[in-house]
Structure 1
Amino acid sequence: MQYPLIDFWYPITRGKRMSTLNKFSQIAVVLVTTALMSQAAYAASMSNADVLKLLAAGMPEEVVLEAIENSTGRFDTSANALIALKAKGATPNVLKAMLQAGKPRTAAAASTKADSKNATTYNPEEITLVLDGQSSAMQYIIPQQRTAARALGFGGMATYAALSGEKAVRRLAGKPEFIVSVPRNAQAANYLTLANFAVRKNGTREVMTGGGYMSYSSGINKSRVVPIVTEALPDQSAAREGFILHKITPVDAMAPGEYALVLYTGEIRSSGFFAQSTNSFYDFGVD
């Protein structure tokens, strides 16, 4: 049976539908193209200020490196700019990535990057915290040095390492374990110290790192040293070349307070890591 009226309108309505679909397709193409152009523009416009924002937000090193390597722009890599970045927590790998940004990458370099991503190794510039079976990476903070007279000068002079803020951002409860990459040419017991910090009224956490009256000696004051047990891990397959993985455990349950695991990277140079000239403080608090 023929329906003349339906047969008359169907081509017209079908044509309208097809026209509408074509318009939607064109709009979708425009939106996708705009998004891709926006991403490319963002990558091209990344600057030192963007890197500082990522560091201030506490982004992991691998995220910062990925953002830098995907950027097509060049960074300010003058001496003053690099010093300012290092003071804000930029690691040697981040600084090196900024220096290399914009340069053509060879196939060998791309292959090396892929291999390093696939390798499951511990980064010597991080300490791995193990708490209740869960692992997370800790990153170092560089302290400020303060020298002052003790007891109006009658107690001699003392030097303090001061961390900004009355409390560490990372808070722990229970008995933690730490996995540390110790240079193969260093004794673990002399490479690190777990220290308890005093909270000062000026909004800092401090520990004495040297002092004396008739003579001067360096090192964290013994009254602030927390006893630990140090043992090499049986499985060293995840260790970086030139390092040995050690498990660090407090002898006793840790009392509430402010702490830091200090690595003496200022005295011991190792495999190009820890380019800063001071020791590395991995701070945390126990509630």
Structure 2
Amino acid sequence: MVTSSSAETATDGGVDPACTESGPADVRLVPACTDDDLAVFCVTNDGTRPASLEWRPVEPPEERIEFVDCQTVRVVGEFVDVIVGATFVAADGQIGNLFEPFGGVDGVRTFDVRELEGVPDDAIIDGIEAFRDDPVLPGAGDLAATNPEFDACQEEFFGEVLVESGSDGEDEDPEDGADAEAVEDVPADELETLTIDAGETTCFAVEAPNGPVAVQLLRDGEVLAERTSAADVDCSRPISADEVGAVVGSPDEFVDDRDRS
């Protein structure tokens, strides 16, 4: 069990359900760093109430989009083309958006938004679409994702949030049905519990003996987010096997490891 909470308790000693109401859009799952065969993930509650969640490690999908930092994204799979969306502040002070094709992917490829023509060096990625076949039309990608740290990236590069984000950053397949995020019959012993106070961040370690590992963040059997470990970011300190499944020190040790500069 992973807990980071100081919520007031009800008369029966449990957490008052009325105080645990932060919505899915208020919860962010971020792959922080890796250390040998362990990976650290951090969950932030941006809501105004505590959030009671569950999580479990899973195999990463064969096709996936991994946001490395604010300006870099990795695509895994076989795709004929990838469109990357960039957000930036233009010379006249106005917000600019650009959606450009980057080319295909044969296995693994990393894209840097600064390689796009016509965007300043402080542009950030807002979203990405990957296409298995032609035609390549914006909005019709076979795999798509928005930057889960879009607001934080804006604050870092622009000094404030200028464009509101409207997604949790999960990979999305347009062919999936509305119930694709439901998880059925997950044994209770496969889930770790996580309670996070409003405005707080909790980090925990996960075993990753066979390379990248993904973590699903759930509430009441519904997947809120799924992210793959940050293979390119080394943890700032060694992580021991005894820390697997537990709170791993101060979040500041790990959220800062995802250097966006």
- Using structure 1 for the length normalisation, give the TM-score: 0.25
More helix by share: 1
More strand by share: 2
- Using structure 2 for the length normalisation, give the TM-score: 0.27
